[in-house]
């Protein structure tokens, strides 16, 4: 998705802004641009392609100044091209924008009749035209910006500057934007990693906030111009956390960070001696009244929800519905006031997940966010929030966010089990004990990552993969298949193993690798029967199991031995080699692992 950065301070801003854009690259984009203000002039450069192309474009000079805006665009209206790239200018007003202006056609037609000429196919371009029009009517720049923003329907995060004055106006509605506070300098950014090397002090803006930055000061108002107060928060993330730290890709670094991320997510929440789980600051309503839980999310986070469903239903016998956020609100879900809606999101900015949260709130349901980003919309707007402590996740393909989400949902199961007296202290203790072993068990898998790299070497030229798993490992193989698709562009489909004979078995021949996760649990023998079916059709099985003497070891292509654990925690382990397999295959294919084609890290439009 698009990325915005802006600066007003005492430093030369051009390189600083482009460095910040580089750190937003992970969000996914197709073009980039910059506008530098310099004593009554604005110099703009835009390029289709990479931020590095933009850097080259500005290197010839002319981009001096201590105030500016920069942008990475992910096309929604109009193809990726230089003319559609931001910033957009009309008169002496220049704008960068994220989001979608739903009524742009209507505004454009109206302005065209008044003689305004448009140079791009974007919805964004109406914004500088509207501001210009209000300025020409005699309003101040700030008033004109507010008047223009009030006319917009849809979502936006914007940065607006004007040739004639050293003022930067920023505003947001349903699209993320934060303010970074430095010493005598201010930043705006779509998210924190862009500017973490400059400051860790942030203001998390709320919808309809308008920020006016001038020399050494900032004022925040509502859309009517009334002052509003927002606190400056200091976050624990550092710039180094958003660096590759010697790894070839962020994704690989993030896979290897999982033992630490899981341990950090547990710290202070699991009390083994007491057989108790507590979440800081969480005060849910009376849990005895909860009749049904909904877990709603997108992509990888949805897979975590499916795992949460298995855990809670098996242990607490409370019905849980796992739902895809983009489907949820459109099917008029039967929500009751006693239900609990759990929204899971790494970014906390996924448009569909936020819309699901709003639907829940509208219906009077308690909303609980499971989120990685402090200050994100989801974290702010849910009734309660439990943070995953994964640290910044930069790779577009989610890894450590997933395993920390599973960890939180597991703790939620224990927390509710205790509060509802559905699990006694000894049982909770036992579960905590096993959970605390997870960082070591994940590390044990990572220690033998070489063997996965070898498997990848035999299969990276394959065109299709089938993934099979049962029960709580079905979402784990779905996640494995999603990882492979996302970063290697190899087609991969995941099925509940028992479903194979109902259709996908037709695909099996000697060219189809079948990834099977089959722990030594109650469905082990059933999955063995599925493996037999694959082998009988000369399919190639890549087996991931904790069964030590798997009778088919000599007949399958490869066996990767997983550490053993309880049913609930199996996916936390089984997904690790699947992440590695996807990574090593993509790496061999030479794809852009951290910024795969067409993908955005945080999907802030519907």
Residues annotated as part of the active site: 2, 601
Interacting span for ligand M6R (CB under 6 A) from 75-83, 92-100, 347-355, 466-474: 347-355
Contact predicate 488/496, CB 8 Å? no
Could you give the residue ranges of the DSSP H alpha helices within 460-523? 473-488
Give the contacts of 223 (CB within 8 A, at least 6 positions apart).
146, 149, 150, 208, 210
Give the contacts of 362 (CB within 8 A, at least 6 positions apart).
none
3-state SS record for 477-540: HHHHHHHHHHHHCCEEEEEEHHHHHHCHHHHCCCCCEEEEECCCCCCHHHHHHHHHHHHHCCCE
Could you give the residue ranges of the DSSP H alpha helices within 69-138? 104-113, 126-136
Q: Which of 66, 89, 346, 367 binds ligand M6R (CB under 6 A)?
A: 346
Residue sitting closest to ligand M6R (CB): 299
Positive or negative: CA dihedral 369, 370, 376, 380: positive
Interacting span for ligand M6R (CB under 6 A) from 97-105, 230-238, 270-278, 294-302: 294-302
Q: Which CB sits closer to ligand M6R, 10 or 489?
A: 489
Q: Which of 42, 145, 298, 382 binds ligand M6R (CB under 6 A)?
A: 298
The CA distance from 484 to 127, in Å, is 40
Q: Which of 65, 99, 259, 299 binds ligand M6R (CB under 6 A)?
A: 299
Could you give the residue ranges of the DSSP H alpha helices within 233-298? 250-256, 258-266
Binding mask 398-437 for ligand M6R (x = CB under 6 A): x---------------------------------------
Least distance to ligand M6R from the beta carbon of 300, Å?
3
The CA distance from 337 to 285, in Å, is 11
Contact predicate 284/340, CB 8 Å? yes
Q: Which of 84, 347, 404, 530 binds ligand M6R (CB under 6 A)?
A: 347
Contact predicate 414/423, CB 8 Å? yes
Q: Which CB sits closer to ligand M6R, 348 or 417?
A: 348
Strand order in the sheet with 464-469: 491-496, 464-469, 513-517, 540-545, 558-561
Give the contacts of 327 (CB within 8 A, at least 6 positions apart).
none
Q: Which of 98, 258, 301, 326 binds ligand M6R (CB under 6 A)?
A: 301
Q: Which CB sits closer to ligand M6R, 8 or 412?
A: 412
The CA distance from 361 to 352, in Å, is 14
Characterize the bridge pairing of strands 340-345 and 293-297.
parallel
Interacting span for ligand M6R (CB under 6 A) from 129-137, 151-159, 298-306, 576-584: 298-306
From the CB of residue 87, how many other CB atoms can be counted at a distance below 10 Å?
Answer: 25
By CB under 6 A, residue 167 contacts ligand M6R: no
Subset of 572-601 contacting ligand M6R (CB under 6 A): 599
Least distance to ligand M6R from the beta carbon of 164, Å?
40
Q: Which of 311, 397, 432, 512 binds ligand M6R (CB under 6 A)?
A: 397
Subset of 310-329 contacting ligand M6R (CB under 6 A): none
Interacting span for ligand M6R (CB under 6 A) from 82-90, 104-112, 197-205, 295-303: 295-303
Burial of 113 (0-12, 13-18, 19+ CB in 10 A): exposed
Least distance to ligand M6R from the beta carbon of 20, Å?
20
Binding mask 469-488 for ligand M6R (x = CB under 6 A): -----------------x--
The CA distance from 88 to 501, in Å, is 55
Interacting span for ligand M6R (CB under 6 A) from 128-136, 342-350, 423-431, 508-516: 342-350
Least distance to ligand M6R from the beta carbon of 409, Å?
13
Least distance to ligand M6R from the beta carbon of 174, Å?
15
Q: Which of 167, 200, 350, 561 binds ligand M6R (CB under 6 A)?
A: 350
Subset of 353-392 contacting ligand M6R (CB under 6 A): 353
Q: Is the peptide bond before 87 cis (omega within 30 degrees of 0)?
A: yes
Distance of CA 164 to the CA centre of its chain: 38
By CB under 6 A, residue 558 contacts ligand M6R: no
Residues contributing to the site for ligand M6R (CB under 6 A):
298-301, 345-347, 350, 353, 396-398, 486, 599, 602-603
């Amino acid at each position: 998705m698009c990325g915005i950065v802006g600066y007003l301070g005492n430093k030369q801003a051009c390189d600083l802004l482009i460095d910040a854009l580089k750190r937003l690259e992970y969000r996914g984009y197709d073009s980039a641009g910059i506008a530098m203000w310099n004593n009554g002039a604005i110099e703009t450069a835009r390029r289709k392609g990479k931020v590095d192309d933009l850097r080259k474009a500005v290197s010839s000079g002319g981009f001096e100044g201590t105030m500016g805006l920069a942008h990475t665009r992910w096309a929604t209206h109009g193809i990726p091209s230089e003319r559609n790239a931001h910033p957009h200018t009309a008169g002496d007003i220049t704008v960068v924008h994220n989001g979608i202006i739903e009524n742009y056609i209507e505004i454009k037609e109206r302005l065209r009749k008044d003689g305004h000429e448009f140079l791009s196919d974007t919805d964004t371009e109406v914004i500088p035209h509207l501001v210009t029009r209000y300025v020409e009517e005699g309003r101040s720049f700030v008033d004109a910006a507010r008047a223009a923003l009030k006319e917009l329907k849809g979502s936006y995060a914007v940065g607006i500057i004007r040739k004639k004055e050293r003022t930067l106006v920023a505003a947001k509605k349903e699209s993320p934007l934060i303010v970074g506070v430095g010493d005598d300098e201010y930043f705006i950014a779509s998210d924190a990693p862009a500017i973490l090397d400059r400051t860790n002090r942030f203001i998390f803006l709320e919808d309809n906030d308008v920020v006016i930055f001038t020399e050494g000061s900032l004022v925040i108002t509502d859309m009517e111009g009334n002052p509003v107060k927002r606190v400056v928060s200091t976050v624990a993330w550092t710039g180094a956390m958003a660096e590759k730290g010697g790894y070839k890709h962020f994704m690989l670094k993030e896979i290897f960070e999982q033992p630490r991320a899981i341990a950090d997510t547990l710290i202070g929440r699991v009390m083994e001696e007491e057989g108790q789980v507590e979440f800081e600051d969480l005060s849910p309503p009376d849990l005895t009244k909860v009749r049904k839980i909904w877990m709603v999310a997108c992509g990888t986070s949805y897979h975590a929800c499916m795992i949460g469903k298995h855990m809670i239903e098996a242990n607490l016998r409370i019905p849980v519905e796992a739902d895809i956020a983009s489907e949820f609100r459109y099917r008029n879900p039967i929500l009751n006031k006693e239900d609990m809606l759990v929204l899971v999101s790494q970014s906390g900015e996924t448009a569909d997940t936020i819309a699901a949260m709003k639907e829940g709130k509208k219906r009077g349901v308690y909303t609980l966010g499971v989120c990685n980003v402090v200050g994100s919309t989801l974290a702010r707007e849910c009734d309660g929030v439990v943070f995953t402590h994964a640290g910044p996740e930069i790779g577009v393909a989610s890894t450590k966010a997933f395993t920390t989400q599973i960890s939180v949902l597991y703790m939620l199961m224990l927390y509710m089990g205790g509060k509802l007296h559905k699990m006694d202290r000894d049982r909770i203790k036992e579960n905590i004990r096993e959970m605390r072993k997870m960082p070591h068990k994940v590390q044990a898998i990572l220690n033998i990552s070489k063997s996965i790299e070898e498997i990848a070497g035999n299969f990276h030229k394959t065109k299709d993969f089938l993934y099979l798993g049962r029960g709580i490992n079905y979402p784990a193989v779905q996640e494995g298949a999603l990882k492979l698709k996302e970063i290697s562009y190899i087609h991969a489909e995941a099925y509940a193993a028992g479903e194979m004979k109902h259709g996908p078995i037709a695909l099996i021949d000697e060219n189809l690798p079948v990834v099977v996760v089959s722990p030594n649990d109650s469905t082990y023998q059933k999955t063995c029967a599925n493996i037999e079916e694959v082998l009988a059709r000369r399919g190639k099985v890549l087996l991931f199991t904790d069964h030590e003497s798997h009778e088919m070891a000599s007949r399958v292509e490869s066996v990767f031995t997983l550490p053993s654990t309880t049913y609930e925690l199996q996916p936390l382990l089984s997904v690790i080699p699947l992440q590695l397999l996807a990574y090593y295959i993509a790496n061999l294919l030479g794809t852009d692992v951290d910024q795969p084609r067409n993908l955005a890290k945080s999907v802030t439009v519907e």
